[in-house]
Every structure is written in C-alpha cells, then in structure tokens.
Structure 1
C-alpha cells in the first residue's frame, strides 16, 4: 500500500470541539465529504489524542480549512498536544453553534452535528451533518495539504 499512500497529498483540517467545559483541537488528515444529498462530511480522529477524548462527550465539532501561509496555526494544532498546551490561548476564536470554538483565521469552516461514530481501527470516524458554516474571501494562497506539513512532528504518538 505504501506505493499508493505515498502519492497522496490531501488537504489537512483543524478539528475543534467543546464539551463539559473543556476545549480541544487537532490537525487531521483523514477527512472527506461523504454524501451529496444530504450533505455529509466525515472526519476521523486518532484515539490517542485529547481531541478524541473530548469529542466522545460532544454532539458537534468544528472543521476548518487553512491556507499554505498558515503553517504556524497548523503546527500549533498538529505539533502540540492539548494535554499540556492550551492551543486556544494564543489564537483568535469565536464560539459558534453548540459552543464549538471556530478559529477566526480559518479560510473556511463548518460546525457539524455528530450523526454517527464509526470505529475504524486506530481512528474513529465522526459522520457530520453541517449546521453552521462560514468562509473568508477567496484565499490568496492554496489550501494547506499533507505536503505542507512534512516538517510537523505529531503532538502525540502515532499508531
């Protein structure tokens, strides 16, 4: 499979969540639109990270697109763990539907209601029904992708 997987360069997303008075967020690569009618989107969260643990008690999550010039934001959410860093302390964000923190700097975002959870091995898929969304003007840079994150070491153990 390496010959196939090594050729992928998919978009990366920041997923945020709030539940029981706690906030969390992480950079994810496993995500995709999964239905046209009704519109559905699925994100897969690693069972190893804090965002997954907080999302277990949540009904909604936020999904954010970044641009290639937002490497620092991607590094914060992908290269640090929320177990010892308040990722939201140094970024501008706004509580949206169900109190989900939405990053003000994201080029596009949506909050989705968790319709279903699916165990996929070391990740759990969250099937989302978008309930609120927004975007800035057309980005002047491209969307942040896997190749843009090659220098970001994961904030938690992988696998």
Structure 2
C-alpha cells in the first residue's frame, strides 16, 4: 500500500475517489420555478429522527435557492440515466428541459427517471470548508426496484452489474 502525505487537491480527489458513492439530483420548487443541481455524496445520518446529509459546493448558485425554499427532494439517479447528472451539473441552462417530473408530497420535483427519492426539510447547515454540510429532516420517500444505481468511482460514472461486486463503466 502506498502512503500519501501530500494533501494536495489532486490527492484529496484521487484517494477518496476509490470509495464509490451514489449520484443524486437535489430539486426544489422555488419562487423562480423548479431548480436543481447534481450532488454527491448523499448519506443517511439518523433513523430516529430520520435525517440525511449532502454537501453542496459553496460556489453553487442553485443551493441558495433551495435553502431559501427550505424544502427539497433528493433524487437518486439510476445507472441508465447518467445524462441527468451532466444536465443538472451545468450552470445557466434550463436544467429541467426534457426532464419529466411530478410533485412530491412537499411539492418538490421528483424526477420521473429517479431510482428513488427522499423529500426533505432543511434541518441544519454546517461549515464544510469549500462545501456546506446540509442535514435534512426526511418527510417522505419512495423508490423503484427495476434499476441499478449510478455511482461515481475513481472520477467516472459507473453502474453496478447484477453479478455481486462487479462494476461496469456507463460512460
């Protein structure tokens, strides 16, 4: 095993990139219309109370809109729709162009193609350096069972094959 004491941004992206994480699109109904952004990582924090977390970049122009709304939906992306990760990562474009969605119980956009969704209200925010650590209270959730998750692993989008433990590139 190689040890790295170099804490450069390159190594801080590379080494933790060996841990696969799911990709999500965080959406909300804002006073300016539907808004959303691609975000990873996303994780469960607590079962009682039901809390989840994600970390938007401080440079995000979309997170402030969702924060102001106070409620949002985490859409878990399926492997076959990696284009949504790219579409919602862009700035200045109509991110919802051609993307079907329906309202969640809290009124936020649930993407029709989502593998699962978690409807949330903002619980707390913490300083996370160049990101904000968001903790959200879960209010409703749902999932499909007919698809595999989209993962981010070693800088690429990958999917999980039906064989246990195998990763395949979907790029």
With the length of structure 1 as denominator, give the TM-score of the two structures: 0.81
Contact preservation (8 Å) 1:63, 1:110: yes
- Write out aligned runs for 1:4-153 (5 A): 4-78=15-89, 80-81=90-91, 84-136=92-144, 138-140=145-147, 142-147=148-153, 150=156
Task: Point out 4+ residue stretches in structure 1 off by more than 4 angstroms.
Answer: none
Look up the SS of the partner of 2:79 in the other structure. coil
In structure 2, distance between residues paired with 1:19 and 1:119: 24
Q: CA deviation at 1:145?
A: 0.7
Contact preservation (8 Å) 1:24, 1:50: no
In structure 2, distance between residues paired with 1:119 and 1:46: 11
For residues 57-82 of structure 1, the C-alpha deviation after alignment (integer angstroms, 9 at most, x for no partner) is: 1211110111111111222112x11x
Residue 148 to residue 66, structure 1, CA distance change in 2 (3 Å):
farther
Residue 107 to residue 51, structure 1, CA distance change in 2 (3 Å):
same
**Structure 1 residues without counterparts, runs of 5 or longer:** 152-159
Residue 149 to residue 111, structure 1, CA distance change in 2 (3 Å):
farther
Q: CA deviation at 1:149?
A: 6.4
In structure 1, distance between residues paired with 2:143 and 2:20: 23
In structure 2, distance between residues paired with 1:63 and 1:76: 16
Root-mean-square deviation (CA, aligned residues, Å) is 2.0
Contact preservation (8 Å) 1:17, 1:51: no
Residue 9 to residue 30, structure 1, CA distance change in 2 (3 Å):
same
**Structure 2 residues without counterparts, runs of 5 or longer:** 1-6, 158-171
Look up the SS of the partner of 1:69 in the other structure. helix
Higher relative contact order (CA 8 A, sep 6+): 1
Residue 18 to residue 47, structure 1, CA distance change in 2 (3 Å):
farther
